[in-house]
Amino acid sequence: MGINAIRGFNDILPGEVEKWQFFEEAARNLFESFGFSEVRVPILEKTELFVRGIGEATDIVEKEMFTFPDRHGEMMTLRPEGTAPVVRAFIEHSMHAADQVTKLYYTGPMFRYERPQKGRYRQFYQIGAEIFGVENPIADAEVLSMLTELFRRTGIKGAELQINSLGCKECRPLYKELLLDFLKTIADKLCPDCQRRLNHNPLRVLDCKNDGCSDATKDAPSIIDNLCERCNSHFKEVKANLDTLGTVYSINHRMVRGLDYYQKTTFEIVCTALGSQNAVAAGGRYDGLVKDLGGPETPGLGFAIGLERAVSLIELTGKSLLKRPALFIATVGEQARKWALKAKYELNLKGIWAEIDYEGKSIKSQMRRADKLGARFAVVIGDSEISSGSAILKNMVEHSDKEINLSSLTEKVSI
Ligand code: HAM
């Protein structure tokens, strides 16, 4: 019996991977023009990093991590997200010393033991960006505007930016109490999960997808109305700066993030076309995290885009992005095949994709393959073409033929 991939772990095949490359390249180009540099951090980290970074009482840490002991019994975890590892690297390499502001981006697989469904996998990819060292709400607006620009550039329609503020260590606990008082009055209308959440994470009740719960909590107090003076003015400035940059957003005061490190600004890019897993990107400000993980007091802010979800929204088909050979060299006879091997090799070295027939198939079958690969040009080489030094170059797109000198092949196919 064959061996299949693990549940929730996917292969990304040619025909689909071109969309990934298209999106990744657009992201790299954009982020680098905003001054972000790539950082590559390990996939495996000490479990403690995520427990301290993401928070012990979060769903991710409580039940979604791939955690196991290494051969010496030390607990290791496959990273469920990129922020905690990037913060660890920022501290470990004293990156704050190089400049007051550090801008980093990363891409790669993340792992969460969630129930697989459309848009939710156990291995999934993120592209994320983090900026360290800026407390000013200018950074929030800049990062958010860069993120929305990426969706515009890649032709993704219906991606909507929603923002919220989760307050800080001062105002959030007071809001939590206020919310809890309200939730107690409607507790009997909540689903069993939310009744459990009441005590350890009441904010998550606002986020529940259950219709009964969203109905029952529609008059719940809003965090935005209960921010302290500092958080309130920060949020106002974020909105004003977004307006300055012409970035469209809406406010979603029920947005609660599943990671404990957020303070002040939080946001999501949602797209209804995605169905129930509708967040294609998410992030926020985490001003206390660098210090909590043992570094100097440094504000931070960032986001991560879910690549499976982003790529599923790209309207271009993988096929239209598929690379195609510039030339297919069909051959008759052994001498021609040797000639083609060398001609192909030289074209390939010049950066031109040329293909040949490897197995001495019939001309009909070779031309069928040229067609299937979508080659732009094809040429048939036999003994007479080699001795005359000329051949018929077929333009497979325009369906026209032209006699050419074989010495000008490179020039003729590299248009
Ligand atoms: P997150 O909201 O947990 O945030 O994940 C960000 C995005 O990753 C989600 O919006 C979604 O598109 C994608 N995603 C999450 N889980 C899955 C899954 N199981 N399958 C497929 N896609 C998924 C973070 O990870 C934070 N580190 C973001 C951040 C960066 N905050 C500040 N800086």
Our answer on whether the CB atom of 247 is closer than 6 Å to any ligand 1 atom is: no
Choice from 126, 140, 289 to test ligand 1 binding pocket (greatest atom count within 8 A of CB)? 126
Spatial separation of the C-alpha atoms in residues 320 and 386, rounded to whole Å? 35
pLDDT at 316: 65
Closest among 325, 321, 341 to 373, alpha carbons compared: 325
327-413 and 17-168+234-317 share a CATH fold: no
Per-residue DSSP letters for 53-78?
HH-TTSHIIIII-EEEE-TTS-EEEE
Closest among 290, 306, 305, 304 to 102, alpha carbons compared: 290
The answer to whether 68 and 180 have CB atoms below 8 angstroms apart is no
pLDDT at 102: 98
Our answer on whether the CB atom of 121 is closer than 6 Å to any ligand 1 atom is: yes
E-strand ranges in 193-317 read 250-251, 265-270, 279-285, 300-306
Q: What is the architecture of the domain spanning 327-413?
A: 3-Layer(aba) Sandwich (3.40)
Domain residues of the chain, as ranges?
17-168+234-317, 172-226, 327-413
User: Can you give the pTM of this predicted structure?
Assistant: 0.93
The residue contributing the CA closest to ligand 1 atom 23 is: 306
Token digits of residue 313: 């929204």
CATH superfamily, domain at 17-168+234-317:
Bira Bifunctional Protein; Domain 2 (3.30.930.10)
pLDDT at 79: 98
pLDDT at 1: 83
Q: Is the dihedral of CA 62, 68, 70, 72 positive or negative?
A: positive
Choice from 110, 146, 293 to test ligand 1 binding pocket (greatest atom count within 8 A of CB)? 110
Choice from 20, 41, 45, 81 to test ligand 1 binding pocket (greatest atom count within 8 A of CB)? 81
Place of tokens 């070295």: 349
Our answer on whether the CB atom of 304 is closer than 6 Å to any ligand 1 atom is: yes
In the reported structure, the alpha carbon of residue 82 is separated from the centroid of ligand 1 by a whole-number distance in angstroms of: 9
pLDDT at 258: 85
pLDDT at 193: 86
Our answer on whether the CB atom of 283 is closer than 6 Å to any ligand 1 atom is: yes
Question: How many other β-carbons are positioned within 10 Å of the β-carbon of residue 398?
Answer: 8
**Which residues sit opposite 318 in a β-bridge?**
none
Q: Exposed, middle or buried by CB within 10 Å (0-12, 13-18, 19+), for 89?
A: middle
Q: Exposed, middle or buried by CB within 10 Å (0-12, 13-18, 19+), for 342?
A: exposed
The one-digit pLDDT tens for each residue of the chain (415 residues) are 899 999 999 999 998 999 999 999 999 999 999 999 999 999 999 999 999 999 998 899 999 999 999 999 999 999 999 999 999 999 999 999 999 999 999 999 999 999 999 999 999 999 999 999 999 999 999 999 999 999 999 999 999 999 999 999 999 999 999 999 999 999 999 998 898 888 888 998 998 888 899 899 999 999 999 999 999 999 999 999 999 999 999 999 999 888 999 999 999 999 998 988 899 999 999 999 999 999 999 999 999 999 999 999 997 665 577 789 999 999 999 999 999 999 999 999 999 999 999 998 999 999 999 999 999 999 999 999 999 999 999 999 999 999 999 999 999 998 6
| Angle formed by the axes of helices 17-33 and 137-153, nearest 10° | 140
Helix (H) or strand (E) holding 328: strand 327-331
The answer to whether 378 and 396 have CB atoms below 8 angstroms apart is yes
Our answer on whether the CB atom of 269 is closer than 6 Å to any ligand 1 atom is: no
Ligand 1 nearest atom to the CA of residue 60, by list position: 3
Ligand 1 nearest atom to the CA of residue 310, by list position: 12
The residue contributing the CA closest to ligand 1 atom 13 is: 306
Task: Report the greatest alpha carbon distance in the chain.
Answer: 93
